[in-house]
Structure 1
Amino acid sequence: MSQITPATAFTQPTTATISARIRAQRKARSLTLQDIERLSNGRIKAVVMGSYERGSRAISLARTIEIANLFTIPLSELIEESKNPERGSNDQLIFDLRKLREISLAVTGNEISKINAFVSAICARRRDWNGEILTLRSGDLDTLTLVLSAPRAAVQELLERFQLVIKVPEI
């Protein structure tokens, strides 16, 4: 009978990886340490948050939950490894979620509401709580063409017309 050792079954997060995820979540929202203190009504001091991010101060589970709630993300986003295996593929569109929210408030159209529902479903499925941008993969764009009952070129034109796609210069 063979035994599975914990090291081969799964990998636990380290305090360093949790600290890095906390910092990444704050930076992704363009928040300063002082913003965290203000948003938490002084419960999380700026200097303490910086210590958590550097890993120079131990963080309790209760405080980690409080930080996850502050960022409005599931706790698992701070303690589990990201599951984005297709990052870096050349066939991607970077979708501007801020622009979509802005347009959704101003434009009442069936296409926009379908795009909004589709993108929300992808964010939930990928557990992507950043809320700023979303990378649409080639397969996602193909699915969007089915949702909108439109050819790929028409969907791309619609996304560009509403400036929902962020252009990234080639490197």
Structure 2
Amino acid sequence: MDYNEKVGERLRAIRLQREMSLQDVHKATDGEFKAAVLGAYERGERSVSLPRLHRLARCYEVPVNQMLPEDDNIMTSVLPSEGVTIDLTRVEQLPNDVGDVIDRFLKKIQVQRQDFNGRVLTIRGSDVAMLALLLDTTDAALVAQIKR
């Protein structure tokens, strides 16, 4: 199966999850996505441009990255199984919107562990994955921001 077909499968699956027909999408997008063209995208017969994919994602109310298929050749996690050691002073230097979320999350972990000893904290890979999900980023990007 080529990449266009995989994208098409995702588009169709998301449209059906939203319980929309091709005609519903046509109406919801004020005619931008004709039923025949959207059907061709879903069958993998046509390539969808990134700007159009983004507008379609907005119509479906899903993040644009969810419109793309999983790539079997990409590792889903780059985190070591033993966890990630975080420099707590780096968290304090992050922009407020991101830093506040991370700080609250890490403080909850410190309270649970009764670990108030230092400037570093080691958290599990699954904790990083959860935090990345909350911040709408990747595990690797998050680790790059906060790792010791």
- TM-score with structure 1 setting the length: 0.39
The TM-score with structure 2 as length reference comes to 0.45
